[in-house]
A and B are shown apart, each in its own frame.
Chain A
Amino acid sequence: MKIAGAKRWLLAGLAASALLHLFTGYTNRYYLGVSIDVAINIVLAVSLNLINGHTGQFSLGHCGFMAIGGYVSAMLTIAAHKAGIPQALTPLVFAASLLAGGVFAALAGIGVGIPSFRLRGDYLAIVTLGFGEIIRVFFQTFEPAGAASGLKGIPNYTNFLWAWGTAAITIYVVAALVNSTYGRGFLAVHDDEIAAGAMGVNTTRYKVTAFAIGSFFAGVAGGLYAHHKVFLSPTGFDFMRSIEIVVMVILGGMGRTAGVAVAAILLTLLPELLRGFSDYRMILYSLLIIILMLSRPQGLFNFVGGKRVKA
Chain B
Amino acid sequence: MPAILELERVTIRFGGLTAVSEVDLALPDNALFGLIGPNGAGKTTAFNLITGVYQPTEGRITFQGSPTAGLKPHQLAAHGIARTFQNIRLFASLTVFDNVRVAMALHHPHGIAQALWRGSEFQRGERDVAQRIHELLEIFNLDEVRDVQACSLPYGDQRRLEIVRALATQPRLLLLDEPAAGMNPTEKSQLADLIRSIRTRFNLAVLLVEHDMQLVMNLCERIAVLDYGVKIAEGSPGEIRRNPKVIEAYLGEEHSPDNPPPSHRP
Contact = CB atoms under 8 A, between A and B. Distances in A.
B87 A200 contact: no
Contact residues on A (Cβ < 8 Å of other chain), bracket:
35 or more
A201 B103 CA distance: 8
Interface in B162-209: 165-166, 168-169
Nearest to A4: B123
A85 B141 CA distance: 66
A202 interface: yes
A198 B78 CA distance: 9
Interface stretch (B20-28, B38-46, B109-117, B227-235): B109-117
Given A3-B123, A196-B102, A200-B169, A187 B88 contact: no
B101 A184 contact: yes
Interface string A152-185: 0000000000000000000001001101111111
B204 to A, nearest CB: 15
A33 interface: no
A46 to B, nearest CB: 15
A309 B151 contact: yes
B115 A182 contact: yes
Given A180-B110, A184-B101, A209-B112, A197 B91 contact: no
B74 to A, nearest CB: 5
Contacts of B72: 197, 202
A181 B125 contact: yes
B116 A177 contact: yes
Contacts of B106: 199-201
Given A184-B98, A200-B105, A201-B74, A177 B90 contact: no
A246 to B, nearest CB: 20
B87 A311 contact: yes
A311 B102 CA distance: 21
B32 interface: no
Contacts of A177: 112, 115-116
Contacts of A135: none
Contacts of A176: 115-116, 118
B101 A181 contact: yes
B152 to A, nearest CB: 10
A181 B94 contact: no
B118 A187 contact: no
B53 A182 contact: no
Contacts of A200: 74, 77-78, 103, 105-106, 169
Contacts of B118: 3, 6-7, 176
Nearest to A188: B102
Which of A176, A183, A184, A195 has the most C-beta atoms of chain B within 10 angstroms of its own C-beta?
A195
Which of B73, B98, B166 has the most C-beta atoms of chain A within 10 angstroms of its own C-beta?
B73
A120 interface: no
Contact of A181 (B89, B126, B169): B126
Contact of A199 (B88, B111, B116, B165): B165
B158 interface: yes
Given A188-B102, A202-B74, A309 B115 contact: no
B262 to A, nearest CB: 17
A6 B165 CA distance: 28
25 contacts: A3-B126, A4-B123, A7-B118, A180-B114, A180-B122, A181-B101, A181-B104, A181-B110, A181-B129, A182-B115, A183-B115, A184-B102, A187-B102, A192-B90, A194-B73, A198-B89, A200-B77, A200-B105, A201-B105, A201-B106, A203-B74, A209-B112, A306-B93, A309-B92, A309-B158
Interface of B: 51, 53, 72-74, 77-78, 82-83, 85-94, 98, 101-106, 108, 110-112, 114-116, 118, 122-123, 125-126, 129, 150-151, 158, 165-166, 168-169
